[in-house]
């Protein structure tokens, strides 16, 4: 792809930074690509209704063209033109969780190009909670397709600096704003199956969703590896994901068991790292990075992607990650880490 002259814009405050928000909207309306902040991760946005604009997203990321994009809206009325059906479950979910880190999959309308839906007859819709994100959608006056703004396969960006590192020269503009509050991508639920299914866990948890959709099922791909020949419900599941250059091993067990295992590994290779909980620190002998307390899944979610990038900055060859429990937001953290590890898991 040809090198772009990437403009760096700023949007921390809706009023003080209104000029840059308007400019971002204008660029998007003209078919350009702009990286925007959201509460989950930064997103690489383009006009979702413009096939040519959307094509630049796939090019910038190096993303396979059959991996569909999420379409972002700023208010509920905007969904009317984008989907072909309005099941009552949509109202229930929207009322409880929008704006917020939940994506809902529905049959698409004619207006959504196949380039946006990855060739599927369905479309994923999300209304972000982040005020800057919604102000930019409003200013663009079009729905925005926006995958995470990382190079395909790498950890998702949760800060402006991550976006610049991955995408400077590949997009038309990058918006500088706060680090992402949630840190993992939105929960994805499909209403196109009976019963509905959770395809990707996020900050909106399975139990919160089941209060509204009691028969919601957890898709097999959330916790299990999908082989290349299986038809997947969400194309994103089959691709390599969130992988730093370091070899990652997930280790399941108590603090004592994790530390004992890690300490036996550093006896063989002094350079390897422990990625562990604060409680583990007194027990591990080698180098370590922590990602919150064992029961604090909110902090773990906020920190994991920066942590995976940090391993590369330190030129780590191999890291052993103490696996989080899979309750609440822990399921989302576990889901991302197991992919970063290429499903390489040790159970103690
Ligand atoms: O939090 C988020 O959702 C972020 C921010 C930027 O909003 N976006 C994001 O997009 O994570 P992306 O493209 O990295 O992940 C979208 C996931 C992919 O796994 C994709 O396969 C799935 O959603 N997806 C999108 N449309 C789908 C559809 N019609 N059917 C099934 N899966 C779909
Ligand atoms: Mg992504």
Q: Chunked in runs of 10, what are the mean pLDDT values of the chain (348 residues)?
A: 91 98 98 98 98 97 94 98 98 98 98 97 98 98 98 94 98 98 98 97 98 97 79 71 88 97 94 97 96 97 96 94 97 95 93
**Per-position b or e across 216-233, b if 16+ CB within 10 A of its CB:** beebebbeeebeeeeebb
Closest atom, ligand 1, to C-alpha of 237: 19
The CA-CA-CA angle for residues 212, 145, 56, to 5°, reads 155
Expressed in angstroms and rounded, the spacing between residue 148 Cα and the centre of ligand 2 is 4
Closest atom, ligand 1, to C-alpha of 233: 31
Distance CA 297, CA 330 (A): 5
**CB neighbour class for 163 (10 Å; exposed up to 12, middle 13-18, buried from 19):** buried
Expressed in angstroms and rounded, the spacing between residue 37 Cα and the centre of ligand 1 is 16
Q: What pLDDT, on a 0 to 100 scale, did the predictor assign at position 8? A: 98
Q: What pLDDT, on a 0 to 100 scale, did the predictor assign at position 230? A: 66
Distance CA 208, CA 54 (A): 33
Q: What pLDDT, on a 0 to 100 scale, did the predictor assign at position 234? A: 76
Nearest ligand to the C-alpha atom of residue 38: 1
Q: What pLDDT, on a 0 to 100 scale, did the predictor assign at position 258? A: 98
Q: What's phi and psi for 199, nearest 5 deg?
A: -95, -30
The sheet carrying 318-322 orders its strands as 287-290, 273-276, 318-322, 247-252, 345-347
DSSP string, 72-94: E-SSGGGGTTTBS---HHHHHHH
Report the nearest-CA residue for atom 21 of ligand 1: 236
Q: What pLDDT, on a 0 to 100 scale, did the predictor assign at position 233? A: 77
Give bridge partners of residue 72 from the DSSP assignment. Answer: 126, 144
DSSP alpha helix (H) spans, 98-202: 114-117, 131-140, 160-167
Q: What pLDDT, on a 0 to 100 scale, did the predictor assign at position 15? A: 97
**CB neighbour class for 85 (10 Å; exposed up to 12, middle 13-18, buried from 19):** exposed
Q: What is the pTM of this model?
A: 0.96
Q: Closest by alpha carbon to 105, among 188, 44, 43?
A: 188
Contact yes or no for 31/47 (Cβ under 8 A): yes
For residue 267, what are the contacts with CB-CB under 8 A and spacing of at least 6?
A: none
Give me the residue label for tokens 């002259």. Answer: 5
Q: What pLDDT, on a 0 to 100 scale, did the predictor assign at position 153? A: 85
Query: What residues does ligand 1 touch, defined as CB less than 6 Å away?
Result: 38, 40-41, 43, 67-70, 101, 103, 105, 117, 120, 122-124, 126, 146-148, 185-186, 188, 199-200, 234-236
Name the CA dihedral angle for 52, 57, 59, 64, rounded to a multiple of 10 degrees: -100
- Detail the DSSP E strand segments found in the chain: 7-10, 34-36, 43-47, 70-72, 102-107, 122-126, 144-145, 173-176, 187-190, 197-200, 217-218, 247-252, 273-276, 287-290, 318-322, 345-347
Give me the residue label for tokens 């004592």. Answer: 256
Expressed in angstroms and rounded, the spacing between residue 69 Cα and the centre of ligand 1 is 5
Contact yes or no for 304/335 (Cβ under 8 A): no
Strands 102-107 and 43-47: unpaired
């Amino acid at each position: 792809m040809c090198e772009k002259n990437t403009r760096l814009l700023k949007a921390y405050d809706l009023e003080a930074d209104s000029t840059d928000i308007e400019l971002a909207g204008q660029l998007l309306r003209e078919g350009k690509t702009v990286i925007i902040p959201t509460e989950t991760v930064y997103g690489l946005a383009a006009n979702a209704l413009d096939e040519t604009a959307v094509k630049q997203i796939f090019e910038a990321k190096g993303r396979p063209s059959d991996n569909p994009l999420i379409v972002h809206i700023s208010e509920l009325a905007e969904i009317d033109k984008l989907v072909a059906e309005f099941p009552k479950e949509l109202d229930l979910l929207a009322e409880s969780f929008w704006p917020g880190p939940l994506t809902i999959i529905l049959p698409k309308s004619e207006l959504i190009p196949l380039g946006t839906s990855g060739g599927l007859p369905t479309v994923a819709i999300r209304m972000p909670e982040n005020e800057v994100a919604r102000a930019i959608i409003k200013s663009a006056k079009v729905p925005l397709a926006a995958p995470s703004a990382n190079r395909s396969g790498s950890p998702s960006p949760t800060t402006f600096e991550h976006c610049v590192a991955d995408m400077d020269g590949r997009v038309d503009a990058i918006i500088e704003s706060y680090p992402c509050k949630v840190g993992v991508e939105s929960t994805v639920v499909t209403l196109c199956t009976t019963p509905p299914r959770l395809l990707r866990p996020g900050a909106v948890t399975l139990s919160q969703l089941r209060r509204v959709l009691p028969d919601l099922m957890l898709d097999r791909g959330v916790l299990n590896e999908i082989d290349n020949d299986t038809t997947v419900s969400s194309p994103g599941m089959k691709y390599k994901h969130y992988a730093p250059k370091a070899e990652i091993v997930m280790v399941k067990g108590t603090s004592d068991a994790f530390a004992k295992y890690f300490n036996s590994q550093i006896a063989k290779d002094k350079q390897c790292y422990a990625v562990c909980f604060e409680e583990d620190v007194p027990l591990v002998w080698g180098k370590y990075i922590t990602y919150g307390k064992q029961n604090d899944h909110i902090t773990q979610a906020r920190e994991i992607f920066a942590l995976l990038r940090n391993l590369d900055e330190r030129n780590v060859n191999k890291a052993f990650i103490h696996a989080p429990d899979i309750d609440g937001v822990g399921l989302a953290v576990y889901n991302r880490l197991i992919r970063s590890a290429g499903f390489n898991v040790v159970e103690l």
